[in-house]
Chains A and B, each alone.
Chain A
């Protein structure tokens, strides 16, 4: 796990440099990763193909894309993440995924269910446009029912307005 946190931290730094305004501002790991022990060869005993962990490692944590308030459009940062996902899905054609659409708590419950569905479909449509077969991608909306960030502030809401790609076992 520490290994993966280190990777995510590196990625977050890269994205921040790229000027991604929608990346949640506090996506650093909860505790500092050891800098001296991070091996450079991650493969030998790593997660196996077909697991969520393998997928997340392969796409450098870019299995999640984020949306602006009440929006569902896929912007350039999202496109980069989805392109990485599409490459992975091209490499492993037997893998199917579910795209989970989510909304922040600052919306009415039913509308957020519809909004989450629209976000999940936006991500799915972009993956399909990159050549992933539509029947390999299921969508599901959780509306505001499954937040990952638990605060009631803009930083938390930005993290919860998301579409998460999950490998189906």
Chain B
């Protein structure tokens, strides 16, 4: 059981600088206006300590809690006042908050929630003193209550409470002070609180995804860098689409994006600063640079560079400086994903003939192949928990699979014609990837949990590929 966080102040991004740079430089020709990505969120201590007992479930038997009924009525407000977060006022915002929590828990195949549109609305006073008969008569096993209050400084206070209906007692509570524009983050934090308390797992809803938005016919696709919240809300395009953009990766602190752009006619990796909207090359070289990755602490960047057709993996400090070459085998060594402790790197190489997966120490030493199960294996990504490696398995069709870091325990999780490029949820329980449709070439984002049972397509405004899931927001 996690203790309540006390007064943690976490600065997100500095407000984006005013878009004063009217003259685009060559490397910024494809960039749109800088996007606002968030303000400061304060976690507050609620007045009473929750009781430390009640139901918990282990993930080894997910079916036990997947059928758990959770009632999530609208969040109450002390006074219905206007707020920039909702034109109808804080009462309407309270229902929206509950809808976000409901959709988070429902769409991910977790639990069996019932949302505010099918439930009576509790009063503000009932948030800390639930009217038990109302909810027990509906068969709910768990009850989520919440409130939203407009503060004098223009911000919102959002509280979230989880009650066990059988025990008729509170399991956990937490509250946050958020700028009105970040109201959805408070809802995701509530979802995370409920999910973590009931599953014993780390949170993942309060996070973002970078991806490539695709439009146009198969022979002339437009590919734009885009970002969105983990539930698809707050969708923003970063590039205009004049140049092809590919393979983004959020920095661990969400301040930057690595991605590939053809903006100068060649495939090159850029470091895009989200606050300022400016970007720089990851390496000053005439050679193509591809497949960018961050180290877990954000201090290093891995990229792959082709020299005279031979591709190897390099490491460079995120602040710039000399690159260090980590591989030197003839053939294509590419990608690379750090273990969570930063000591090892899993990568892809065709040095044995076809694409296979290898592990090396972070300094490039002790390179050894770990995939030995027939077919080809590509795009390895180390789980944030460290216990699994997700990758693209190519044996006839392309599918998403996981294995242990020693190459054992292969499990194929999907059955598409072409599923590729897995990316892990912040807690290492869910994998997103993209699926290409045979013939049309249309692409879409999907996610699957480690059981392989909960497969779901993510809604995106247009076709989508190359998802990259960031960590829990700071």
Which B residues touch A113, using CB under 8 A?
A: 246, 260, 267, 288, 290-291
Which B residues touch A117, using CB under 8 A?
A: 288, 306, 309, 311
Which B residues touch A118, using CB under 8 A?
A: 306, 309-311, 332
Checking A70, A120, A145 against B221 with a beta-carbon cut-off of 8 angstroms, the contacting residue is A145
B104 within 8 Å of A by Cβ?
no
B218 within 8 Å of A by Cβ?
yes
Checking A106, A115, A122 against B418 with a beta-carbon cut-off of 8 angstroms, the contacting residue is A106
Which B residues touch A151, using CB under 8 A?
A: 439
Pair B379/A108 contact, Cβ less than 8 Å: yes
Pair B265/A140 contact, Cβ less than 8 Å: yes
Chain B proximity of A27: nearest CB distance (Å): 17
Which B residues touch A72, using CB under 8 A?
A: 309
Residue in chain A with minimal CB distance to B290:
A113
Checking A70, A110, A125 against B335 with a beta-carbon cut-off of 8 angstroms, the contacting residue is A110
Checking B304, B309, B420 against A108 with a beta-carbon cut-off of 8 angstroms, the contacting residue is B420
Chain B proximity of A96: nearest CB distance (Å): 14
Pair A105/B332 contact, Cβ less than 8 Å: no
Number of A-B contacts (CB under 8 A): 91
Residue in chain B with minimal CB distance to A134:
B308
A150 within 8 Å of B by Cβ?
yes
State A135–B388 Cα separation when bound (angstroms). Answer: 46
Pair B421/A108 contact, Cβ less than 8 Å: yes
**Which residues 122-140 of A sit at the B interface, judged by CB distance below 8 A?**
122, 125, 139-140
State A117–B331 Cα separation when bound (angstroms). Answer: 11
Chain A proximity of B431: nearest CB distance (Å): 15
Interface size on B, residues (CB 8 A): 42
Which B residues touch A76, using CB under 8 A?
A: none
Chain B proximity of A90: nearest CB distance (Å): 23
Which A residues touch B466, using CB under 8 A?
A: 109
Chain B proximity of A56: nearest CB distance (Å): 19
B423 within 8 Å of A by Cβ?
no
**Which residues 391-428 of B sit at the A interface, judged by CB distance below 8 A?**
392, 394, 398, 418, 420-421
Which B residues touch A110, using CB under 8 A?
A: 247, 290-291, 304, 334-335, 379
A152 within 8 Å of B by Cβ?
yes
Known: A109-B420, A110-B290. A145 touches B219 (CB 8 A): no
Residue in chain A with minimal CB distance to B287:
A117
B229 within 8 Å of A by Cβ?
no
Pair A150/B306 contact, Cβ less than 8 Å: no
B90 within 8 Å of A by Cβ?
no
State A141–B350 Cα separation when bound (angstroms). Answer: 18
Pair B441/A150 contact, Cβ less than 8 Å: yes
Pair B348/A121 contact, Cβ less than 8 Å: no
Residues of A in contact with B, size category: 20 to 34
State A121–B308 Cα separation when bound (angstroms). Answer: 6
State A24–B311 Cα separation when bound (angstroms). Answer: 28
Which B residues touch A81, using CB under 8 A?
A: none
Chain B proximity of A23: nearest CB distance (Å): 21
Checking A111, A140, A147, A150 against B332 with a beta-carbon cut-off of 8 angstroms, the contacting residue is A111
State A121–B288 Cα separation when bound (angstroms). Answer: 12
Which of B247, B308, B398 has the largest number of chain A CB atoms within 10 A?
B308
B207 within 8 Å of A by Cβ?
no
Which A residues touch B309, using CB under 8 A?
A: 72, 117-118, 120-122, 125, 139
Known: A110-B304, A140-B266, A152-B438. A70 touches B354 (CB 8 A): yes
B435 within 8 Å of A by Cβ?
no
Residue in chain B with minimal CB distance to A149:
B219
Chain B proximity of A25: nearest CB distance (Å): 19
Which of A118, A122, A140 has the largest number of chain B CB atoms within 10 A?
A118
Give 1 or 0 for each of B348-377: 1 = CB within 8 Å of chain A CB: 101000110000000000000000000000
Which B residues touch A70, using CB under 8 A?
A: 350, 354
Pair B219/A150 contact, Cβ less than 8 Å: yes
Residue in chain A with minimal CB distance to B223:
A145
Known: A113-B267, A140-B265. A147 touches B219 (CB 8 A): yes
A114 within 8 Å of B by Cβ?
yes
Chain B proximity of A136: nearest CB distance (Å): 15
A148 within 8 Å of B by Cβ?
yes
B327 within 8 Å of A by Cβ?
no
Residue in chain A with minimal CB distance to B288:
A117
State A151–B437 Cα separation when bound (angstroms). Answer: 11
Which A residues touch B246, using CB under 8 A?
A: 109, 113, 145
Which of A108, A122, A141, A152 has the largest number of chain B CB atoms within 10 A?
A108
Which A residues touch B288, using CB under 8 A?
A: 113, 117, 140-141
Pair A152/B306 contact, Cβ less than 8 Å: no
State A124–B348 Cα separation when bound (angstroms). Answer: 26
Pair A114/B290 contact, Cβ less than 8 Å: yes
Give 1 or 0 for each of B211-228: 1 = CB within 8 Å of chain A CB: 000000111010100000
Chain A proximity of B268: nearest CB distance (Å): 11
Which A residues touch B218, using CB under 8 A?
A: 147, 150
Residue in chain A with minimal CB distance to B221:
A145
Chain B proximity of A70: nearest CB distance (Å): 7
**Which residues 33-73 of A sit at the B interface, judged by CB distance below 8 A?**
70, 72
Which A residues touch B261, using CB under 8 A?
A: none
Checking A105, A108, A140 against B355 with a beta-carbon cut-off of 8 angstroms, the contacting residue is A108
Which B residues touch A120, using CB under 8 A?
A: 309
Chain B proximity of A101: nearest CB distance (Å): 9
What would be 13 A-B contacts, judged by CB atoms less than 8 Å apart? A106-B418, A108-B379, A109-B421, A109-B465, A110-B247, A110-B290, A121-B308, A140-B265, A141-B288, A145-B221, A145-B223, A147-B441, A152-B439
Contacts beyond the supplied A72-B309, A141-B267: 17 A-B pairs with Cβ under 8 Å: A108-B394, A109-B246, A109-B247, A109-B466, A110-B335, A111-B350, A113-B260, A113-B267, A113-B290, A114-B291, A114-B334, A115-B332, A118-B309, A120-B309, A121-B308, A140-B288, A151-B439
